[in-house]
Amino acid sequence: MALVAVFSILMIGGLSALSATSEAAETEPLEIELVKIIELLDIFPEEIIAVNDGYVICGYEGNAYIEKRDKDFNVVWSDILEGDGSSYNALKQTADGGYIVAGYEKDKEYLIAKYDSEGNQKWITNPTGTPNITLLGLIVVEDGYVTIGCSYADSKSYIIKFDLDGNEEDRYETELNRIWGMTYNSDLFLIFTGSSYKTEIYAYDYNIDLQWNNTYDYNISDINAYKNGFYGAASVDNTTGLLLIFDENADIVKTIEYNWQETYETQLYVSTYKGDYYVTAGEISIDTFWYEYGLVVIFDEDGNVLYEKKISDELENYTDSYAIYITTTPDGFIVVYKAWDDVSNYGTYIAVFGGLATEGGSEETAAPGDSSNPMILILIFLIMLIIVAVLTRRFGAPGFMFGAFLTLIVLGLTYLVW
């Protein structure tokens, strides 16, 4: 049994070293690559989703448009809505491989449309009338679609439920006079609004019953859900960027502050989560002319900065830019930037990043702070310790040597797999 005790001490030390090595590796800088930058002329994307063979984009190009592009961002198909002023603001893929979009159309109550996987419009719902509601977000549910929007003319906001064929089923007027955005998990969906110095979040269940609401002294630009809570990009006093981590009730449990080079005024506008990393983007103000420079920053779960880049250095013909949208891809992530020059010529860029193909969480399913790997090693070690004790008792020193050798192999393979 003395041999078993010595073996236990050595293995515990080894496990501690493995754990320390793993934790140290997490803070090493990431090898992120800016793969390409695509300029979209006269196109203003509102939302982008990555699909198996490319990307689907919605937005406006004079009128509402939806298009699919391959992995090299060549157009595969596109559809532009006819009319006199419209925009698709929200996009989701549906169970049949098609797409649902929602947005705004002049002189219409609202706009929602369904497309198949080849870009053929299957139906559109855009009744003439008032209020003229701009739909800003949508959720695909089992029996239809839940959308949020606001009427800027009468300063009212609405939650509207549609069936699978686009027929309006229910409409609810919210407590808010304007909505910035939404997120959701399996139990709730959240809508938020505010000003430069305050944000309000309201949580509803899928019966559209208000569950709770919170107020924050920050300008929260976006909020996203994952298994055990939420996270979002924000700023305080328009000078310091923030990454906020919330629990399941949207109470803030961690605040991570960021300023470019720890000096310059910074605002973070958008965020996503992939493989235990928070990817954020926004803008920085550097010189006395108040030029705004697009920015991307990646944090680990402890708030350490693993990657930061001033994207404006890569944008041709434009002096100012800021991030408006971000999403993950199988190999990394993409960020959409709006840019302009000194005489107010505007452009839109998509920056494609690689090097973040880490397996792990996604923005809707990730569980930050998961420390299951060391626990698995410890559990296996305890099981192997029992086996070593049995072998030692039965066969003496040869049994101990065999058990120790077997334990090292099992733990080594387990560590490599995880």
> Which one of 354, 379, 406 terminates a domain?
354
Is residue 335, in this structure, part of any structural domain at all?
yes
* Per-residue pLDDT, 18: 47
Residue 243: pLDDT over 80: yes
Is residue 359, in this structure, part of any structural domain at all?
no
Is residue 366, in this structure, part of any structural domain at all?
no
Q: Are residues 307 and 337 in the same domain?
A: yes
Rounded to two decimals, what is the model's pTM? Answer: 0.77
Q: Are residues 150 and 218 in the same domain?
A: yes
* Per-residue pLDDT, 410: 66
Q: What is the mean pLDDT of the chain?
A: 83
Q: Are residues 403 and 257 in the same domain?
A: no
Q: Are residues 190 and 257 in the same domain?
A: yes
C-alpha 183 chain-centroid distance: 10
SS3 assignment for the chain: CHHHHHHHHHHHHHHHHHHHHHHHHHCCCCCCEEEEEEEECCCEEEEEEEECCEEEEEEEECEEEEEEECCCCCEEEEEECCCCCEEEEEEEECCCCCEEEEEEECCECCEEEEECCCCCEEEEECCECCCCCEEEEEEEECCEEEEEEEECCCCEEEEEEEECCCCEEEEEECCCCCCCEEEECCCCEEEEEECCCCEEEEEECCCCCEEEEEEECCEECCCEEECCEEEEEEEECCCEEEEEEECCCCCEEEEEEECECCCEEEEEEEEEEECCEEEEEEEEECCCCCCEEEEEEEECCCCCEEEEEEHHHHCCCCCEEEEEEEEECCCEEEEEEEEECCCCCEEEEEEEEECCCCCCCCCCCCCCCCCHHHHHHHHHHHHHHHHHHHHHHHHCHHHHHHHHHHHHHHHHHHHHHC
Q: Are residues 275 and 388 in the same domain?
A: no
Confidence at 340, pLDDT banded by 50, 70, 90: confident
Confidence at 26, pLDDT banded by 50, 70, 90: very low
Q: Are residues 405 and 310 in the same domain?
A: no
Residue 117: pLDDT over 90: yes
Residue 55: pLDDT over 90: yes
Q: Are residues 150 and 189 in the same domain?
A: yes
State mean pLDDT over 292-304. Answer: 92
> Which one of 354, 384, 409 terminates a domain?
354
Looking at the chain, the whole-number percentage of residues with pLDDT higher than 90 is 52
Q: Are residues 274 and 165 in the same domain?
A: yes
Q: Are residues 176 and 43 in the same domain?
A: yes
Interval 175-197: pLDDT, tens: 888 888 899 998 999 999 877 67
Is residue 363, in this structure, part of any structural domain at all?
no
* Per-residue pLDDT, 21: 45
Q: Are residues 156 and 241 in the same domain?
A: yes
> Distance (Å, rounded) from C-alpha 278 to C-alpha 281?
10
Confidence at 366, pLDDT banded by 50, 70, 90: very low
Q: Are residues 20 and 40 in the same domain?
A: no
Q: Are residues 48 and 121 in the same domain?
A: yes
Confidence at 381, pLDDT banded by 50, 70, 90: low
Is residue 362, in this structure, part of any structural domain at all?
no
Confidence at 1, pLDDT banded by 50, 70, 90: low
* Residue 311: φ, ψ to 5°: -70, -20
- Any idea what the CATH number is for the domain that residue 179 is in? 2.130.10.10
Is residue 339, in this structure, part of any structural domain at all?
yes
CA distances from 138 to 98, 111, 163, 400 (A): 15, 12, 13, 62
Residue 56: pLDDT over 70: yes
Q: How many domains, the chain?
A: 2
Is residue 192, in this structure, part of any structural domain at all?
yes
Domain containing 12 equals: 2-24+371-417
Looking at the chain, the whole-number percentage of residues with pLDDT higher than 70 is 82
Of 182 and 345, more confident: 182
Confidence at 234, pLDDT banded by 50, 70, 90: very high
